[in-house]
Structure 1
Amino acid sequence: MEELLTLKDLLLQGDIPSTLMIVEELEEMSSNDIIKTIRSYAVILLLHLIKQQAENRTTRSWEVYIRNSIREIQRENKRRQAGGYYLTREQLRETLEEAYLNAIDEASLEVEEGRYEVQELEKLVNGEETINRALDLILPAQSSYNN
């Protein structure tokens, strides 16, 4: 990674301000990767919650997708060494809201074998309720989820 070599050179030169800029860039890149991964799993989670709500039923495979997505989101969001979480509750909500658009698109292809257009499906499901349910499933039971 070119940034690490640049960082090493700047440290050896004693250029602390430039070094800090590179560190901030690396932090932002890492954060963007984490958000992207969480968003991908959020689409899967929301897709299956939408299907449950629209079809008023569930299947074992949907339940497995939901559980696996929750676990992966929790794993990606947890800071292993520093402790805590990468995304705050509000940032996680924003990520779910962004993912919802993709999830409802995908759900329109799957709910009742593609019977509904996106606009029709949006009328069948409560998007806010679905996002809230996803958030409740993802967040730890403790109310101390702050970052």
Structure 2
Amino acid sequence: MEELLELRKLLQQGKVDEALLLVDELEDISLSDKINKIDSYGVILLVHLIKQQAEKRSTRSWEISIENASRELKKLNKRRKAGGCYLSSAQLREILQEGYQMALKRASVEAFEGRFEAEELESMVDKQMILAQAIALVQQ
């Protein structure tokens, strides 16, 4: 909030160049926040996709979680006024790949009642298939 007050002050003083620098900083903060939220929902999506593939089954709860996470990911990535997306397919894939190990750790606690470590669970699933499935859900 104080950044907006500073921006107002700079504009009122006619310091346009300084105001534009502050606008750039605010844009960076906003994008960083979106990326963090996308990462969080991406991990949630991956956890449930991993559990589905590993256990070769699904539950209504997992399906609802998958649907909610993919909906939130689409909503977060969509530029409302300018149109298009904040992140490209390649950038989304990179974020999902980076979050995959955390998702695997979380899934190992939940899948099979927590009987397997992340490394053991990893050998039961096809990482590339799960990542492709996640990307497809986000881009529908």
- Offset of residue 123 of structure 1: 1.3
Partner secondary structure for residue 123 of structure 2: helix
Q: What TM-score results when the alignment is normalised by the length of structure 1?
A: 0.90
Aligned positions of 1:131-142 closer than 5 A: 131-140=131-140
Give the corresponding residue for 1:144.
none
CA RMSD of aligned residues (A): 1.1
Q: Match of 1:9, as an amino acid?
A: K
Give the corresponding residue for 2:105.
105
Q: Match of 1:22, as an amino acid?
A: L
Q: Match of 2:59, as an amino acid?
A: T
Give the corresponding residue for 2:72.
72
Q: Does residue 1:39 correspond to 2:39, yes or no? A: yes
- Offset of residue 139 of structure 1: 0.4
Give the corresponding residue for 1:143.
none
Q: Does residue 1:118 correspond to 2:118, yes or no? A: yes
Give the corresponding residue for 2:13.
13
Give the corresponding residue for 2:81.
81
Partner secondary structure for residue 98 of structure 1: helix
Unmatched segments (≥5 aa) in structure 1: 141-147
Q: Does residue 1:91 correspond to 2:91, yes or no? A: yes
Unmatched segments (≥5 aa) in structure 2: none
Partner secondary structure for residue 124 of structure 1: coil
Structure 1 consecutive aligned stretches of length 4 or more whose deviation exceeds 6 Å? none
Separation (CA, whole Å) in 1 of partners of 2:26 and 2:128:
34
Q: Match of 2:80, as an amino acid?
A: R
Q: Match of 1:30, as an amino acid?
A: S
- Offset of residue 132 of structure 1: 1.1
Partner secondary structure for residue 80 of structure 1: coil
Give the corresponding residue for 2:51.
51
Give the corresponding residue for 2:27.
27
Q: Match of 1:103, as an amino acid?
A: A
Q: Does residue 1:4 correspond to 2:27, yes or no? A: no
Q: What TM-score results when the alignment is normalised by the length of structure 2?
A: 0.94
- Offset of residue 127 of structure 1: 1.5
